[in-house]
């Protein structure tokens, strides 16, 4: 069982924060769990949330306001940290969009990152840990995320449809191989050969499908007032890839909304209800 750091009563359930020794990362990792009132009575659907650049395991739980509806719907919420902490890799804190707080949910292959920056493997480890230690139904697991975490949610779901039955995203980095954030991260973590980048690019992964991997649909919300939209996010690339794969996609574009948690908190209820329907 992971070490409980603290807990807080919340909408009849409990918000908890944990730490455990990660075999994938080789360091202690933190994550948060919201357990609704029904937890302990029966196995419940579980929804993993992946946060964006500079965020931690606390960001979503504090800012999104998702616990109220998770309590009502009987959904367990889980949010991991966004990168290793304490790896002490030279230069890991020099940039806000690479290194600490910017793990990009991939397994690095380049030194000095390859030893600890293994967030893809970590998410698989956390998935197993949650199923083993909480009343989570292994047949009803979904994933969603924001920005870098939206990229992570889409790629994890596309690479592991056997583990995740539903997927959605807020303003995801939809084609990281083609944008500055992704090129910087992939070049640093994976090396200069961009053919290796495609395995972590949601648009490239979707383009490789001959039929819809999620026939029940994928939900994406994007603010049109998002300053990163044109240069970094490229939702149209994922939209095009879904069309070619006959993948049902609901891509909602919202005038006036930016990239932050005011946007996420506005539409988080829609995402929880979407996953609740998908997970049954």
CA gap 229, 194 in Å, rounded: 23
13-21/3-10 β-pairing: antiparallel
Residue 259, preceding bond cis, omega within 30 degrees? Answer: no
Distance (Å, whole) CA 142 – CA 73: 14
Rounded Cα gap, residues 213 and 229, in angstroms: 26
Residues 226, 271, 275, 276: which is the catalytic one? 226
Which H helix or E strand runs over 273?
helix 261-279
Q: Which two tokens stand for residue 114?
A: 């390859």
Cα–Cα distances in angstroms (integers) from residue 163 to residues 46, 139, 173, 186, in the given order: 11, 8, 22, 25
Choose the catalytic residue: 32, 71, 83, 147: 147
What phi and psi values does residue 7 have, to the nearest 5 degrees? -150, 155
Cα–Cα distance between 148 and 170 in angstroms, integer? 10
Spatial separation of the C-alpha atoms in residues 234 and 240, rounded to whole Å: 10
Active site residue 147: yes
Q: Give CA 1 to chain center in angstroms.
A: 23
* Structural contact between residues 179 and 186, judged by C-beta atoms closer than 8 angstroms: no
Which of 259, 271, 275, 276 is flagged as catalytic?
Answer: 259
Active site residues: 147, 226, 259
């Amino acid at each position: 069982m992971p070490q409980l750091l603290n807990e807080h009563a919340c909408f009849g359930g409990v918000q908890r924060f944990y730490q455990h020794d990660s075999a994938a990362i080789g360091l202690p990792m933190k994550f948060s769990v919201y357990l609704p009132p029904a937890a302990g009575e029966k196995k419940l659907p579980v929804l993993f949330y992946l946060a964006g650049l500079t965020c931690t395991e606390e960001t979503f739980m504090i800012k999104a306001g998702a616990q109220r509806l998770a309590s009502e719907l009987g959904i367990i919420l889980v949010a991991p940290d966004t990168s290793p902490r304490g790896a002490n890799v030279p230069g890991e804190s020099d940039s806000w969009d690479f290194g600490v707080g910017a793990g990009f949910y991939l397994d690095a292959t380049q030194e000095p990152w390859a030893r600890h920056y293994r967030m893809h493997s970590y998410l698989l480890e956390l998935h197993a840990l949650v199923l083993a230690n909480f009343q989570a139904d292994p047949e009803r697991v979904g994933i969603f995320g924001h920005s870098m975490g939206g990229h992570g949610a889409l790629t994890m779901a596309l690479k592991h449809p056997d583990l995740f039955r539903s997927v959605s995203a807020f303003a995801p980095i939809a084609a990281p191989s083609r944008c500055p954030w992704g090129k910087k991260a992939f070049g640093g973590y994976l090396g200069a050969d961009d053919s290796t980048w495609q395995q972590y690019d949601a648009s490239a992964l979707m383009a490789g499908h001959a039929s819809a991997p999620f026939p029940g649909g994928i939900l994406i919300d994007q603010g049109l007032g998002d300053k990163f939209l044109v240069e970094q996010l490229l939702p149209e690339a994922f939209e095009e890839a879904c069309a070619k794969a006959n993948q049902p996609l609901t891509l909602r574009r919202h005038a006036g909304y930016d990239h932050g948690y005011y946007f996420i908190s506005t539409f988080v209820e829609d995402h929880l209800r979407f996953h609740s329907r998908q997970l049954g």
